[in-house]
Amino acid sequence: MLYPISIPIPESVDDHVGYIDAAGELIVPPKYAGGAYFFEGVACVLRPDGASGFIDLQGVVVVPFEFQGLSRFHNGVCAIGGYYIDHSGHRLIERRFLIAGEFCEGRAFVSLDGDSMGYIDLNGQFAIPAEFEAAHPFSEGLAAVRRDGYWGYVTRDGAVAIPFEFGGPRAQAFRNGLGGVQADGGWGFIDHSGRWRVTPRFEDIGQFSEGYAPVMLNGKWGMIDTEGGFRIPVRYEKLGGFRDGLAAATLENKAGFICRHGRWIVPARYDECYRFSGELAMVVDGDVYQYIRRDGRAVWRSEPLAGRLTPPRHWE
């Protein structure tokens, strides 16, 4: 795994982006105008002229600079600039969608007009007609979709598995057999049959990860298990999901990482923390960002006011 870093360009407001390894050693010199995180062994990078391509873990260009924007590979396919490409850069599906989501479980949500959403297969053909107001990626065989203002879930062939009866701004993907939805103003979790496993009594929720999910009560966050029992008390201002046994948490405006027992593994001394990816996590301390190991040791620090490369929300 390599991690993007940004180095300010002298007498400029812009940065150059390069990559370090988990020991903090520079592997790819900072020469790009932008760079994404590595997924499936490659990372999307942006040349100063605005063209984007992909590099491998040695910094070698493996997909030519003939696309636009930054993206990532997922399930062997990347949606970039309206195209769908494979790891060689071959265009699997030509550009024709106004919205093109990434492939998950053999389906990608798309829209031709920006309003009606459906799902295509790997041949670029509609497997589920574009008849939804909103659509999310598939997970555990189901995808959350919205129709007439309400959320439900469909299968990969478009059959309605869970009826359209949930409100709110979103419905979550299934994780650990449970999906987060809103009803009567409260958030809870349902199983694949649509039955409540955790009654809707929370102000907000996160997704399940490693058997725990963040939940909010009275403006504070804690963690529940898949039966709805509290495992970590409600006390944090922010609380992320677990990854490899650690979760980013903020208490009294300082952030660190806690374990599944709620103990601080990395003390809360930062302004912001992002979840671990591989061996490192990004943390922010004032106008400097750092990459730290699980023992809290920093392996790399940015220059003050360097452009921060915010990790993606999810690291599937």
The domain total for the chain is 1
Structural domain contains residue 144: yes
What number of other Cβ atoms are within 10 A of residue 171's Cβ? 25
Q: What is the pLDDT of residues 109-144, one digit of tens each?
A: 999 999 999 999 999 999 999 999 999 999 999 999
| The model's pTM | 0.93
Within a domain: residue 142?
yes
Is 263 part of a structural domain of the chain? Answer: no
Per the CB < 8 A criterion, the answer to whether 39 and 73 are in contact is yes
> 307: pLDDT confidence band, cut at 50, 70 and 90?
confident
50-53 long-range Cβ contacts below 8 angstroms, 24+ apart: 52/80, 52/81, 53/89
The CA-CA-CA angle for residues 238, 144, 208, to 5°, reads 35
Within-domain flag for 255: no
Secondary structure of residue 215 in the 3-state scheme:
strand
Under DSSP, the state recorded for 156 is T
Q: Quick check: helix, strand or coil at residue 80?
A: strand
Residue 127 lies in a domain: yes
Which pLDDT tens digit goes with each residue over 48-70?
999 999 999 999 999 999 999 99
Task: With H, G, I as helix, E, B as strand and everything else as coil, classify residue 30.
Answer: strand
What per-residue string of b and e applies to 24-39 under the rule 16 or more CB within 10 Å gives b? beeebebebbbbbbbb
Which pLDDT score, from 0 to 100, does residue 315 have?
Answer: 42
Neighbour count for residue 53 (Cβ, 10 Å): 20
Q: How far is CA 220 from the centre of its chain?
A: 22
- DSSP secondary structure letter of residue 315: -
Residue 154: give the domain boundaries: 96-200
The CATH number of the domain holding residue 138 is: 2.40.128.630
Closest CA to 144 of 79, 213, 190, 199: 190
Residue 117 lies inside a defined structural domain of this protein: yes
Question: pLDDT confidence of 316, banded at 50, 70, 90?
Answer: very low
**What residues pair up with 147 in beta bridges, in sequence order?**
150
Please report whether residue 174 resides in a domain: yes
Beta strands in 240-304 (DSSP E): 247-251, 254-258, 264-270, 272-273, 281-285, 288-292, 298-301
Inside any domain, residue 216 = no
Ordered alpha helix ranges (H), the chain = none
With bands split at pLDDT 50, 70 and 90, how would you rate the model's confidence at 309? Answer: confident
